[in-house]
Amino acid sequence: MSLLRKYFLLLLLPVIFGLTACKKDDNTTTPTPAVNESEILVKYLQDNGDFLNSAAPAIAPVEEVRNNQLSKPDKIYIIDIRSAADFAKGHIAGAVNVTTNNIVTHIKGITATNYEKIYLVCYSGQTAGYATALLRLLGYSNVFDVKWGMSAWNDSITASAWKTAVGNNYSGFVTTATSKNVTGTLPVLTTGKTTGKEILEARITQLLSATDPFGDIKTTYKSVTDSLSKYYIVNYWPANHYGLGHIPGATQYTPKADLKDSTFLKTLPTNKPIVVYCYTGQTSAQVATILKVLGYDAKTMLYGVSTMKHDLLVANNLSKWVDSECKYYPYVK
């Protein structure tokens, strides 16, 4: 090979290698940026009504349901999510029986905007609070949980939940304050979706696929007080009520203020069960449900302080159950 040909070959080699490298680069797939689903979901909810920090809990008194039943029955829709057996024993006239698992499917099957109010009723108002919260997050702003449930409508149909739950069963309340956690991160969600609406729908579908959806988030005062260190306990009361007495180690979070992304939402732990408690368990049912949607291992304490220290509620004129709450309205079989 002549010196001239070798010279030209040496000049071409860098070009050949460059083209080969470019060809390999062209076949390289650019990795898709990771999606932070929890951040997207929180922003979506706060940009679309922020139910947790604006309207929760969505609760309607039983007297309102009765008045509307008599005055404008065509403008209301009543869903009873108790068991089929208890529904058969007696229910509000016009109510339809739907399982919690199927609540979203059922609502999508009716024209919800035809009704001024859609009422969800259960035994005590807590399971219905769970379903109400899910529907509110999906945008059904005319859905309400019936306060005290069938225990207030007519507790002679089935055993009264409230009369057997109310009491002063726990004497360990303290007034010593416990500080919130330091700010951390949101839970990790892996629905595979990329928009807030899609992530929300996927999370609700996941929750409702459980055998007993509400059963997955409920707990009792005894389970909590017997193992206080196991839980991060949220006292969902105003600060002045927290000062009246609370579960040892419970941390105060002001309703409609402290569970925003811009305030203290990220102080909730992602590595420990969170128990939310309130006066009667009806507010905490809705709050814990929303936290569960966000990915927290959240639970609601059944009956709240009503079952632990009912006298504290009575003495300070706070929300409480009294026998007069049961109206003994008529029912059908």
The one-letter code for the residue type at 243 is G
Confidence at residue 28, expressed as pLDDT on a 0 to 100 scale: 55
The first and second tokens of residue 101, run together, are 């698992």
- Sign of the CA dihedral with 89 first, then 95, 99, and 100 last: negative
Question: Would the pTM of this model clear 0.85, i.e. be above it?
Answer: yes
How far, in whole angstroms, is CA 113 from its chain's centroid?
23
* Domain residue ranges in the chain: 37-159
Query: Which amino acid, one-letter code, is at 228?
Result: L
| pLDDT tens sequence for the chain (333 residues) | 554 454 444 445 444 445 444 444 445 554 555 689 999 999 999 999 999 999 999 999 999 999 999 999 999 999 999 999 999 999 999 999 999 999 999 999 999 999 999 999 999 999 999 999 999 999 999 999 999 999 999 999 877 889 999 999 999 999 999 999 999 999 999 999 999 999 999 999 999 999 999 999 999 999 999 999 999 999 999 999 999 999 999 999 999 999 999 999 999 999 999 999 999 999 999 999 999 999 999 999 999 999 999 999 999 999 899 989 999 999 999
In degrees and rounded to multiples of 5, residue 34 shows phi and psi of -65, 140
CATH superfamily of 37-159: Rhodanese-like domain (3.40.250.10)
Q: How much is the pLDDT for 225? A: 98
